[in-house]
Structure 1
Amino acid sequence: RYKIIKASVGKNHTVVVTDDGKSFAFGHNKFGQLGTGSLKNEIEASPVPCLVTEVTGVACGGDFTVWLSSVEGSTILSAGLPQYGQLGHGTDNEYNTKDSSVKLSYDPQPRPRAIAALSEKTIVKVACGTNHTVAVDSSGFVYTWGYGGYGRLGHREQKDEWQPRLVEIFQRHNVLPPNAILSAGSANCACTAGGGQLYMWGKMKTTGDDTMYPKPLMDLSGWNIRCMASGTMHHVVGADDSCISWGNAQYGELGYGPMGQKSSANPKKVDSLEGMHVTGVGCGFGLSLIIVDRAKAGDKLDQLDIYDGDASTPVEETVEPKVTKKAPASANSKSNKRKKTKDLS
């Protein structure tokens, strides 16, 4: 039996990490994204071992996977679909399917391979979007590579990067601290830098200009951000004793309830989770997952509606989640809240 400590999900595959440094994967393997060294089976219905040792972390893109390892000189490895250079090996492995055809294909990489451009670095954090990757080294420097559309790589241009490229703004006095959070959505990236300030770049909404390089999100200045995740065009943050979300939504993924607003251009508190200590968040296509600390939630969890699995229940008949009254803030928490530039409604 294994104890799973980390997991990540791509478009059609899942990769997990155990407490003893092993990694297992299951799901679609057409492009070698499971990292087993084989393309023999397109779908693995049960977990199979990945060819990576001393694994400390994992991140899944749409059809590729990136592992972190404590093996010296091989702290970051990748496998899967190399299109857009998202594996970071200096090539997209593109080729014509036939000499007489202009149809292009991409030679899959089923065996995890260390990213040579980062061999002298110790990579400590990694996150993947659909076709791009962002990583942080032990010195707090940030690197991105893969598909460059909408400025998601943060280099002030939309060029694809086939190997890791340093993001200029996070250098000198603005390197990332050890407790920084790192996140990647389908077409964007985010991280916290000095003072916990949240930066975002890429395509964050369906309308308006794209953010071609990292810019601070001032609405969340002063908040103690512990975790963040982005989906296609929505974002969820766990900070202080609040859950905050914003973006474009279609299926209630912002958590505002069936009677709440569908989308929000600006960060907004999820009222039904106010006062709870959020420890983890995850975003998929049209859904969000939020983990709260049960010990700190008290009886607030008991006041939430429970989904009974009956998908046939009309939305109009559901009950809006109860909103608990916020407990009086302590002297310390009052001083912390004064630092926030905006009271999120």
Structure 2
Amino acid sequence: MADTQKVGLAQRDIEQAIIALKKGAHLLKYGRRGKPKFCPFRLSSDESLLLWYSGKDEKQLKLSLVSKIIPGQRTAIFQQHPQPEKEYQSFSLLYNDRSLDLICKDKDEAEVWFVGLKALITRGNHRKWRVESRCESVSSDSPHARMRRNSPSITPCDPGDLDGVSYENTGQNRLGKAFSELLTYTAVSKGTSQPKSIVNPSLSTALVDNSNGRISASEGFRVSLSSAVSSSSQGSCPEDFDALGDVYIWGEGIGDGLLGGGVNKVGSQCSLNSKLDAQLPKALESTVVLDVQGIACGGRHAVLVTRQGEIFSWGEESGGRLGHGVEADVSHPKIIDTLSGMNVELVACGEYHTCAVTLSGDLYSWGDGTHNYGLLGHGSEVSHWIPQKVSGQMEGIRVSYISCGVWHTAVVTSAGQLFTFGDGSFGALGHGDHITSNFPREVETLRGLRTTKVACGVWHTAAAVEAINELSDSGTSANPSSGKLYTWGDGDKGRLGHGDNEPRLVPECVAALIEENICQVACGNDLTVALTSAGRVYTMGSTAYGQLGSATANGKLPTCVEGEIANSFVEEVACGSYHVAVLTSKTEVYTWGKGSNGQLGHGDNNHRNTPTIVDVLKDKQVKNVACGSNFTVVICLHKWVSSADHSVCSGCHNPFGFRRKRHNCYNCGLVFCKACSSKKSLKASLAPNLNKPYRVCDDCFNKLKKAMESSSVSQNSRARTGNMHYKSNGVMDKETWVPKLQATLSRLSSFGAVNNAESVHSRLASRATSPVLGTSSPIRSSEDFSEDSKRANDSLTQEIISLRAQVQELTCKSKNLEAELEKTSKKLMEVTAIAADEAEKCKSAKEVIKSLAAQVR
């Protein structure tokens, strides 16, 4: 049973690597002539071809023709322009007496490509071997069979190599260590052994296993999406139906805030000096390549679900709403380990809590239940920092839809029942009272009807409910079921659509939309949006910020939104606190309402009272849209870059010409004009010479600058203790270097990479005399052996950066509070002075009145 689980987990990690290959990346390609060139590479959707563009021409390599994959720079092509410092970022594919030689952005990206391609090549070789084995069984004495038996380079695969996976070796801590040890071994053997013994097919057994039987999704496949997300989606291809999901996000906290990959919290004083918001859509930055299928947003956190059923969360932590079990903010999507392997299908976010529904229909919730409103539905007010299954009355009931409001939650079952729990103020739960419920209760008024969708506002709720139409005289009905809009809760500003401001304690059908077939609903703070099956959008509620989408609507009754979407078929609607986003059948996104934080995506902070298309997303194939309180997010079908994408700048999107020259960024590999890539950096990952600054784009320059600043902090911290331990570490390195190397080689011998002990000793002996590795190999080995300490230093560095940020934030808060206190003190003194003056005036007036009264007498 354990072995079966191991196989499944490792296979899922290989699938994640293959997803990264399908999304593609810009790699440095070595050719037989000329200097290395940047080319966009990707794996075809059927996983049989490796595709890339060289200039305007698309080229491809059938993976079935690839005999083996070699890590490092071992081929003659690499020797034309050697870059030994990028040994760990390089690999070669051997096919038909030729080689395809590539250098990745960094070691982590190389690990992903190596593992994915190795698994696919091994799988293909195994299929070929099975076919050839059948042929041999028919004629085992044929010349072809005798040649195969006598050829040492053709080795049948073990059954365990079917997917490139074996689980015999459990001593590896992570995929990167196996990759490094493989390179160390091949580097040692380069001076004495022939290329034919570089890699044995069974070497793949080391590349997908660790001590836990799988590679952590957050460690094993760390790839920046900046190189994976294409700059355009021009030219729709037949692979759209199987395309991967990319995320674009904009609005409050998406710039330098935690939701956008920064370190600043929304509302913090330090955020006032930074560009906290993003006014235009930008690609979601992630440390893992994600195939996103669903997403939900809260006030200051978000949760997404991948095609593999894994769930990731990020943003500002508060009361455990991120589900990671710790009080720590997360700036990039991080997998929720508790739900790993649960096949999550749906997610929803409230202000203080989060919910998820698995494929089997089980409901899980987590977050801050200490507000005493029963937000989590577990029958108590206890906070849960990790996902907890909602049982009780929901036991055995399959959940099909979920919606979270600020103070309550609504659940739809597969049978069409509606359950609600949380704060019952204003009758938002629909149970006919104002009582708070900390466990799910069925809404009795809708019993017997079939609820399909539900949405929660702050103090009101809306649902799309199917009602069976009455039969005509002929006993038939063209439309046997029709969706009606039911609303209840706080009726202030007409948000319930009943023509008044009165609250409703139980669901009531909106009479104005009785003739419409409602299929989806969404709720803002004081707004309700309904979508019909005909693709029309109706809004009701407050007219603030133009959120009704019509300048003439009063909000008391539902109003059909016209404007730019009058002739469009709307497929999906979403609401933030005071803004609305819709997705049309043409994959266009329109927004309107409040724009103070750039949540409308038009490049400014202006409000819009009519639907306005988000121009930046015009060339994207958007398939879903969602809204947080003051930010918006969309899921787009991932599009492969074409030759047309190289004719425009990836930054400003202006076309290249005689005066606007094309330049590659030496960090991400994308093409930019001079204005968008005018800066240079010494830390560019794809730079040929690390001692010389190379051109990078503005985004990469800022990222590299931040990385250099963080590394300088870690160097200063290490400098204090480095001198104290230098001598002892030096002696220890000398004493332990050879045993560690021998241990490394002994582990590799279990992969089939070392044939016998004599070859090991001969390669070790030849190390000192090797003209190629006389200077570089010891450095690589010491770096390899100090990987654990580097990882520890990196984590300490991140902790220091986080603590410094907290100190800076608290300092800013303290200064601000002092300034406010000083202002308040001054105001108090002014008010006291005014009061004293008024008291004197009052006293004088009394004296005058007394004097006048005496004179009258």
- Normalising by structure 2, we get a TM-score of 0.32
The aligned residue for residue 319 of structure 2 is none
8 Å CA contact 2:545–2:608 kept in 1: the answer is: no
Provide the C-alpha distance between the structure 1 equivalents of 2:347 and 2:557, rounded to a whole number of angstroms.
29
The aligned residue for residue 335 of structure 1 is none
Deviations 1:125-146 (A, max 9, x none): 1111111111111231110001
Residue among 536, 544, 549 paired with 1:197? 536
> Post-superposition shift, 1:263?
2.5
Provide the C-alpha distance between the structure 1 equivalents of 2:540 and 2:447, rounded to a whole number of angstroms.
26
Amino acid at match of 1:168: A
Provide the C-alpha distance between the structure 1 equivalents of 2:453 and 2:651, rounded to a whole number of angstroms.
34
The aligned residue for residue 248 of structure 1 is 594
> Post-superposition shift, 1:188?
0.8
SS of 2:445 mapped into structure 1: helix
Amino acid at match of 2:524: G
Displacement over 6 Å in runs of 4+: 296-300, 304-310
Residue among 434, 444, 465 paired with 1:92? 434
Residue among 406, 411, 421 paired with 1:62? 406
Provide the C-alpha distance between the structure 1 equivalents of 2:529 and 2:483, rounded to a whole number of angstroms.
14
The share of aligned pairs that are identical, in percent, is 25
Amino acid at match of 1:122: R
> Residues 48, 279 of structure 1: CA spacing in aligned structure 2 closer, same or farther, 3 A cutoff?
same
Provide the C-alpha distance between the structure 2 equivalents of 1:294 and 1:84, rounded to a whole number of angstroms.
44
Provide the C-alpha distance between the structure 2 equivalents of 1:140 and 1:12, rounded to a whole number of angstroms.
31
Pair 1:229-2:561 in alignment: no
> Residues 224, 295 of structure 1: CA spacing in aligned structure 2 closer, same or farther, 3 A cutoff?
farther
Moved more, 142-151 or 217-226: 217-226
8 Å CA contact 2:545–2:607 kept in 1: the answer is: no
The aligned residue for residue 462 of structure 2 is 134
Pair 1:110-2:438 in alignment: yes
8 Å CA contact 1:196–1:222 kept in 2: the answer is: no
> Residues 159, 19 of structure 1: CA spacing in aligned structure 2 closer, same or farther, 3 A cutoff?
same
5 Å-filtered alignment, 1:43-192, equals: 43-51=383-391, 52=394, 53-71=397-415, 75-93=417-435, 108-138=436-466, 139-171=482-514, 173-176=515-518, 180-192=519-531
Provide the C-alpha distance between the structure 2 equivalents of 1:116 and 1:181, rounded to a whole number of angstroms.
21
> Post-superposition shift, 1:115?
0.5
The aligned residue for residue 331 of structure 1 is none
Provide the C-alpha distance between the structure 1 equivalents of 2:651 and 2:352, rounded to a whole number of angstroms.
31
> Post-superposition shift, 1:307?
7.5
> Post-superposition shift, 1:204?
4.3
Provide the C-alpha distance between the structure 2 equivalents of 1:149 and 1:228, rounded to a whole number of angstroms.
22
> Residues 261, 110 of structure 1: CA spacing in aligned structure 2 closer, same or farther, 3 A cutoff?
closer
Amino acid at match of 2:376: L
The aligned residue for residue 559 of structure 2 is 215
8 Å CA contact 2:531–2:573 kept in 1: the answer is: no
SS of 1:164 mapped into structure 2: strand
> Post-superposition shift, 1:16?
1.0
Amino acid at match of 1:28: D
8 Å CA contact 1:11–1:61 kept in 2: the answer is: yes
Residue among 607, 610, 613 paired with 1:263? 607
Deviations 1:134-162 (A, max 9, x none): 11112311100011111110000111111
Residue among 380, 401, 415 paired with 1:38? 380
Larger Rg belongs to? 2
> Post-superposition shift, 1:293?
2.0
Provide the C-alpha distance between the structure 2 equivalents of 1:5 and 1:166, rounded to a whole number of angstroms.
30
Greater fraction of residues in strand: 1
> Residues 192, 297 of structure 1: CA spacing in aligned structure 2 closer, same or farther, 3 A cutoff?
farther
Residue among 615, 628, 631 paired with 1:284? 628
SS of 1:213 mapped into structure 2: coil
> Post-superposition shift, 1:167?
0.5
Pair 1:25-2:370 in alignment: no
Deviations 1:68-116 (A, max 9, x none): 0124xx71001111001000000002xxxxxxxxxxxxxx311100000
Greater fraction of residues in helix: 2
> Residues 149, 48 of structure 1: CA spacing in aligned structure 2 closer, same or farther, 3 A cutoff?
same
> Residues 255, 90 of structure 1: CA spacing in aligned structure 2 closer, same or farther, 3 A cutoff?
same
Deviations 1:270-298 (A, max 9, x none): 11101323222222222111111225998
Paired residues, number = 287
SS of 1:57 mapped into structure 2: strand
8 Å CA contact 1:236–1:283 kept in 2: the answer is: yes
Provide the C-alpha distance between the structure 1 equivalents of 2:641 and 2:439, rounded to a whole number of angstroms.
44
The aligned residue for residue 273 of structure 1 is 617
